[in-house]
């Protein structure tokens, strides 16, 4: 996991996510270094490697990821959003969150005016995904966030991305 080669670190992330004896809490915990890796590819593999465990144990995963949604590292905050996207592009959909995205709002609320464009783009994509099946919910969240934000410009960027297909 700490090898100098990003390819080897990707393999380590895949191996960690595929270990059947680990529950989702341990898989998320052990994926932290890969999720915060300097290399984009390693970070992407990190959330993809644990996605099925997140789907299988969604409530435990959400509980475990709550702290990461408030973490000072933008890579970890983005992991939270990407790993739980209802309709991720290169991964299995999370049917529960397509039907009931509200279950993950505790992960998203702390990110509503994130200082990192990297995170804001992911949160906007998360909401855009949810809007494919629950457009009214996305509109309600966007309206609420307009009034709860500390950084209007940051939130406005998320809301624009979130509502682009509504």
DSSP state of 68: G
d(CA 36, CA 33) in angstroms, rounded, equals 5
Tell me the per-residue pLDDT of 84-103, one tens digit each, with 9 for 90 and over: 999 988 899 999 999 999 99
Calpha distance 104→111 (Å, rounded): 12
Residue 10's pLDDT band (boundaries 50, 70, 90)?
A: very high
23 conformational bin, left if phi > 0, alpha if psi -120 to 50, beta if neither: beta
| Six token digits for residue 19 | 């270990």
Angstrom distance (rounded) from CA 51 to CA 108: 17
Proportion of the chain above pLDDT 90, given as a percent? 93
pLDDT of 122-148, one tens digit each?
Answer: 999 999 999 999 999 999 999 999 999
Say if CB 85 and CB 94 are below 8 A apart: yes
Instruction: Compute the average pLDDT of residues 39-66.
Output: 97
Q: Provide DSSP, 34-75.
A: HHT-SSHHHHHHHHHHHHHHHHHTHHHHHHHHTTGGG-S-HH
Report whether pLDDT(79) > 90: yes
| pLDDT at 57 > cutoff 90 | yes
Mean pLDDT computed over every residue of the chain: 96
Residue 23 has pLDDT above 90, yes or no: yes
**pLDDT at residue 8 in the model:** 96
Hunting for tokens 């144990």 — which residue is that? 57
Q: Which long-range contacts (CB under 8 A, 24 or more apart) does 88-92 make?
A: 88/51, 88/129, 90/48, 91/48, 91/51, 92/51, 92/52, 92/55
- Over its C-alpha atoms, the chain yields an Rg (Å, rounded) of 15
Whether 103 contacts 62, CB under 8 Å: yes
63 and 23 Cβ atoms separated by less than 8 Å: no
This prediction's pTM: 0.94
The pLDDT of residue 150 is above 90: no
Tell me what pLDDT residue 67 has: 97
Mean pLDDT of 37-53: 96
């Amino acid at each position: 996991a700490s090898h100098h080669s990003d390819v080897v670190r990707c393999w380590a992330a895949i191996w960690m996510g595929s270990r059947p004896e680990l529950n989702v809490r341990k898989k998320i915990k052990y994926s932290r270094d890969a999720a915060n890796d300097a290399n984009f590819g390693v970070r992407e593999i990190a959330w993809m490697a644990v996605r099925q465990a997140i789907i299988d144990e969604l409530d435990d995963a959400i509980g475990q990821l709550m702290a990461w949604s408030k973490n000072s590292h933008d890579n970890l905050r983005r992991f939270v959003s990407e790993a739980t996207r209802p309709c991720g592009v290169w991964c299995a959909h999370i049917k529960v969150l397509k039907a009931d995205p509200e279950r993950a709002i505790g992960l998203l609320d702390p990110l509503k005016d994130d200082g990192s464009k990297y995170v804001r783009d992911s949160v906007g994509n998360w909401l855009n995904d949810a809007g494919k099946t629950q457009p009214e919910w996305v509109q309600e969240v966007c309206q609420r966030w307009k009034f709860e934000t500390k950084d209007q410009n940051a939130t406005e960027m998320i809301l624009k991305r979130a509502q682009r297909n509504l």
